[in-house]
Chain A
Amino acid sequence: MNYAKHEHHDFAGASAQALTDPPLQAALARLTDILMAGNRRSYAALADSSALRDHAKRIKEHALAHLDRYLEELEQTVTKRGGKVHWAATAEDARQIVVNIARQAGCKKAVKSKSMTSEEIHLNPALEKAGVEVTETDFGEFIIQIAGERPSHLVAPAVHHTRESIARVMSHHLQESLPDDARSLAMTGRRVLREKFYQADLGITGANFVVAQTGTIVLVTNEGNGRLTTTCPRVHVAIAGIEKVIPRFSDLPVFLKLLARGATGQTLSVYTTIITGARQPGEMDGPEEFHLVLLDNGRSKILGSPFRESLQCIRCGACLNACPVYRRIGGHAYGGVYSGPIGSILTPLYDSVSLNPDLPHASSLCGACQAACPVKINIPHMLIGLRQMQHRYKPARLEDLAYAAWKEVLRRPWLYRLSLRFAKVFLRLFAQDGWLRRLPGPGSGWTQVRDFPAPAKRTFRDRWKELNS
C-alpha cells in the first residue's frame, strides 16, 4: 500500500516500511534536530516561558469550559462585522456548506492556505466534484497536492520529500524540466501560484485562533500564502474547529508568543494575519464576503470526555518534532490526518478507537512531547487513558489475564519471591555471562538488536541479609 497517498489503519506495516526508507530517515532526523533545537533555544530565551505556557493552558481550559457561551458571542461579533457564521456538525456538513458558498457566489477557482481542518474534512475532492478548481498554495502543500499525497507533518507537510523528488514532481506537473536547487524550485512555485492567486475568486483558509470578543480569525504563515488567500479572491471562507476559540483579543499575543517558538524556534512566524470581517467600505483590497465555518466533527464528544485536554492543541507540531517515535517513522505511518503524539490521541478519538488499536501504544511514554508542548498537554496520560479505554472496547483476553495474574503475584511477596526464583533458574539455563541472546515469543523482537539480561544469581533480597551482617 502507498501509505503517503491513502489514510490507513496499518500502523505496523507502515512504520516497518518507514524504518527501512533511508531518505525518509535522513529527512526526519534533519527536521527534528533543527526544529527541536529551535524549540529549546527559544523557550530558554523567553523570560518566564514556563509561566506563560501555564497561562496559555489556563486560557484554553477556561475557553473550553465555557465554549457554548463563547461560540454564541463569536457568532454575534462576526455578524456585526458583516461576516456569516455557518455551523457544521460533521465533515459532510462542512463540505456541503463550502460547496454551497462557492455555488452561490459563482466561484470557480479556489486558492487554499494550509489548513489541517480542511484536510480533516477532505474538502478538495468535494469542491472539485462541484466544478471548483482548488489549488493548495502553501509550497509544501502544493507539492503534496500535485504528487497526490497526504501531509506528513502538521507544519512541514512535505518533509518526507527531498530536493530531487520535489523537482521530479514539479517537472512532471508543469511539463518542463526543472533544476533541483531549492531556490529555483521555490521561485517556480511563486510564479505558478501567483498566477493562481491572480485568477482565484475563492480563498479558503483554516484559522490558528478565533477570537470570540471581536469575531477575529488569525492565520499564521511563513510564506505569505495565507495573506494572498485573504487578499486576492473576492470571497473568503475560513474553516475552524470549535476548539480554536479563545475569549479575548488581548489573549492572542499569549499564544502568538508561544506558537512559533514552539514550532520552529522563531520569535514570531513571518506573517500573522489578523482578520476581522470582510473588506470595509473605502478599502482597496481584500474579500467582499467573509464566511466562518465552525466545525464540530466529534469535538463536542471529546469536550465532554476525559480527553478534553487534547482540544487545547494549537497545532504547532512541537510534539512531533520532540517525539523519538515520530523521528523514526514519520507522519504517514500514523494513518490519519494528524500524526505524531497528538495524532495518536486525535485519530482514535476523531476516527475510531477500535480501528486504531496501535496508535495509543506507539509511544515509549518518554514525555518529550509534553515538555515541548506550548500548552503542556499531558499527552502520555491521554495515551494511557486511551489504552485503558481499549480494554473496554475490545477486551484482549489473553493480555488482560496475563496482567491480572501478574498483579496477583506482585501482591503476594512470597509468591513474587517464588516466581523470581523459578524465572531465575529457568532463564539462567539459556544465558551466557548473564545475558540471553534470544528470547522466544513476544520477546523475540527485543533480542533482534539487543541482548536481554537474565535474572541475577542472587536477587537483591538475597543479598540484603549479608549487607546487614
Chain B
Amino acid sequence: MKVSLMVTCLGDALFPEVGVATVRLLRRLGVEVDFPAAQTCCGQPHFNSGYHHDARELAKHTIQAFANKQLVVSPSGSCAAMVKLEYPELLHDDMVWHGRAEDLARRTHELSDFLVNVLKKEDVGARLEGKATYHMACHLRGLGLQREPETLLQNVRGLQLAPLERYDECCGFGGSFSVRYPGISGAMVQDKAALIEKTGADVVVATDAGCLMNIGGCLRRRGSKVKFMHLAEVLNST
C-alpha cells in the first residue's frame, strides 16, 4: 500500500520529528510513503476565522497537492477534520471542486484512524518503558475517533497508561482563540497541565501539534518533569 503524508504546517515547522516518526512507523508496517512537496497549510486558520474565501483557495491548493489518488495520512486530527468535514461543505456550490473535495475527504485519514481502521492494526509492535497519560484532541471527537489512539497505546509494550481526568476537555489552544483570549486559554491549559501532573505520568501523549505546543509549552513553563510526545513518536519507539 502506498500513502501520501500530510505533515501539516505546524508539523513541518515546529515538530518535524512527528512527521519523521510517522514515516518510519508507516514504513515499518510495510506502507510506502511519499510526501507531495506542494502541500502547505489546509486553510483551517482562515476557515475558523471566517475567511471562507481564503480558506476555499487553500482548500483547492491542498486538493491539487494531493491529486495523486492515494490515501492521505496525517498525524493531526485537526487538519484531517478540516479536509474530511469542512472541504466538501466549503466547496459545496462549486461544480468542479465539490467532487474533488469529496474525493479527498474520503481518501484522508488521521493516523490512528488509518492504523486501526484501514490497516486493521491495533498493535503496531511498539515498545516504550514508562508511564503515560493520554489527552484527547478535540477534533478526534468530530471525527468519531474516541477509542483508536487509546487502543494503540494500550498495546505498546512496557507502557503503563494512567487515566487523565477530563481527558477529552479542550486544552485551550483553539488557534486564534489562544491569542485573542490568552486569559481564558491560559486558565484552560493550566488546569490541563495540573491534571496531567496529577496522574504521575512521565509523558503525556496527544495526536495534534496544536495541543502539544500548548500543553508542552505550559508544562515547560511550570518546570514540570512531564514530557510530551505525539502518538506517532510513541508508536515508532521500539
Q: How many residues of B contact A (CB 8 A)?
A: 65
The number of residue pairs between A and B whose CB atoms lie closer than 8 Å in the complex comes to 183
In the complex the two chains form, is A391's CB within 8 Å of B12's CB?
no
Contact B46 A407 (CB under 8 A): yes
Identify which of residues 22-59 in chain B touch chain A, using a CB-to-CB cut-off of 8 Å: 23-24, 35, 37-41, 43, 45-52, 54, 57-58
Given A453-B213, A460-B19, answer yes or no on A388-B50 (Cβ-Cβ < 8 Å).
yes
The distance from the CB of B164 to the nearest CB of chain A, in whole angstroms, is 14
Distance in angstroms between the alpha carbons of A411 and B188 in the assembled complex:
33
Q: Is the CB of A366 within 8 A of B12?
A: no
Query: Does A350 interact with chain B (Cβ within 8 Å)?
Result: no
| The residue from B40, B183, B218 contacting A16, defined by CB atoms under 8 A apart | B183
Complex Cα distance, B189 from A450, in Å, reads 9
- Do A443 and B58 form a contact, CB below 8 Å, given A450-B220, A456-B13, A463-B16? no
User: Are B184's CB and A328's CB within 8 A?
Assistant: yes
Fill in one digit per residue for A312-342: 1 if any B CB lies within 8 Å of its CB, else 0. Answer: 0000000000001100110000000000000
Chain B interface (Cβ < 8 Å from any Cβ of A)? 7, 9, 11-17, 19-20, 23-24, 35, 37-41, 43, 45-52, 54, 57-58, 61, 138-139, 141-142, 168-170, 172-190, 213-214, 216-218, 220-221
B217 touching A451 by the CB < 8 A rule? yes
A459 cross-chain contacts in B, Cβ below 8 A: 12-13, 16
Question: Residue among B24, B142, B173, B184 with the most chain A CB within 10 A?
Answer: B184
Q: Is the CB of A410 within 8 A of B221?
A: no
A384: interface (CB < 8 Å): yes
Q: A16-B183, A365-B177, A410-B40 are in contact. Are A403 and B46 (CB under 8 A)?
A: yes
Q: How far is the CB of A157 from chain B (nearest CB, A)?
A: 22
Q: Which residues of B contact A363 (CB under 8 A)?
A: 174, 177
Distance in angstroms from B26 CB to nearest chain A CB is 11
Q: A390-B50, A403-B51, A411-B40 in contact; A361/B180 too (CB < 8 A)?
A: yes
Between B176, B189, B190, the greatest number of chain A beta carbons within 10 A of the residue's beta carbon is seen for: B176
When distances are taken between beta carbons in the complex, the residues of chain B under 8 Å from A416 are 40-41
B220/A451 in contact, CB under 8 A: yes
Most-contacted residue by chain A among B7, B41, B51 (CB, 10 A): B51
Q: With contacts A445-B183, A446-B182 known, is A407 near B138, CB below 8 A?
A: no
Interface size grouping (class) on chain A: 35 or more
Contacts of B46 in A (CB 8 A): 403, 406-407
Question: How near does chain B come to A383, taking the closest CB pair, in angstroms?
Answer: 9
CA distance A450 to B13 in the complex (A): 19
Closest to B189 in A: A450
B170 touches A464 (CB 8 A): no
Whether B15 lies near A456 (C-beta < 8 A) is yes
Contact partner of A463 among B20, B37, B177, CB < 8 A? B20
Contacts from A to B (Cβ < 8 Å): 15-16, 19, 324-325, 328-329, 360-368, 371, 384-391, 399-400, 403-404, 406-407, 409-411, 413, 416, 420, 423-424, 435, 437, 442-446, 448-453, 455-456, 458-464, 467
- B35 engages A411 (CB within 8 Å): no
Report yes or no: A420 in contact with B186, Cβ–Cβ below 8 A. no
A413 touching B37, Cβ below 8 Å: yes
Q: Are A445 and B179 in contact (CB under 8 A)?
A: yes
- Pairwise interchain contact A449-B181, C-beta atoms closer than 8 A: no
- Nearest Cβ distance between residue A314 and chain B, in whole angstroms? 22
CA distance A223 to B217 in the complex (A): 47
25 examples of A-B residue contacts, CB within 8 angstroms: A19-B183, A325-B184, A328-B188, A361-B176, A362-B181, A364-B175, A367-B141, A368-B138, A388-B52, A399-B49, A403-B54, A407-B51, A409-B40, A413-B39, A416-B40, A442-B179, A445-B179, A445-B182, A445-B186, A446-B178, A446-B185, A449-B182, A451-B220, A456-B16, A463-B20
